[in-house]
Amino acid sequence: MRVKIISERCIACGLCHLEAPHIFDYDDAGIVRFYGSSVKQKLEQTELLSSVKQKLEQTELAETNELEQEIPPAEEKQAGSAVKKCPTAALKASNH
Ligand code: SF4
């Protein structure tokens, strides 16, 4: 199972973390992210990467704030429950 985060839709309710605490974490504003992505997010906050991102956006090559991750089989049940219960459809699951 793969899960995609559409962070623009997240209202920071915390439900997904309750359902799948090993999969979903939050940034400083309470917006969902995958565990393990904190280092990447911190790096993205650096001036250098912001500059690169701006340039990518200008050329329309940048992705949205969506994040996607393969969920380990042992965590699929909890992750699936989080996807179903997310009130704003900020989480999307797929089997490929
Ligand atoms: S359940 Fe949905 S809205 Fe709530 S924190 Fe998780 S992704 Fe955001």
Task: Express each pLDDT in 65-84 by its tens digit.
Answer: 458 999 999 999 999 999 99
Q: 29: burial class by Cβ within 10 Å (0-12, 13-18, 19+)? A: exposed
Mean pLDDT, rounded, for 42-60: 63
C-alpha dihedral sign at 56, 61, 66, 70: negative
79: Cβ below 6 Å to ligand 1? Answer: no
CA of 59 to the centre of ligand 1 (A): 30
C-beta of residue 65 within 8 angstroms of C-beta of residue 8: yes
Amino acid at 74: A
Q: How far apart, in whole angstroms, are the C-alpha atoms of residue 55 and residue 78? A: 38
13: Cβ below 6 Å to ligand 1? Answer: yes
66: Cβ below 6 Å to ligand 1? Answer: no
83: Cβ below 6 Å to ligand 1? Answer: no
pTM: 0.73
pLDDT class of 35 with cuts at 50, 70, 90:
confident
Which pLDDT score, from 0 to 100, does residue 83 have?
Answer: 98
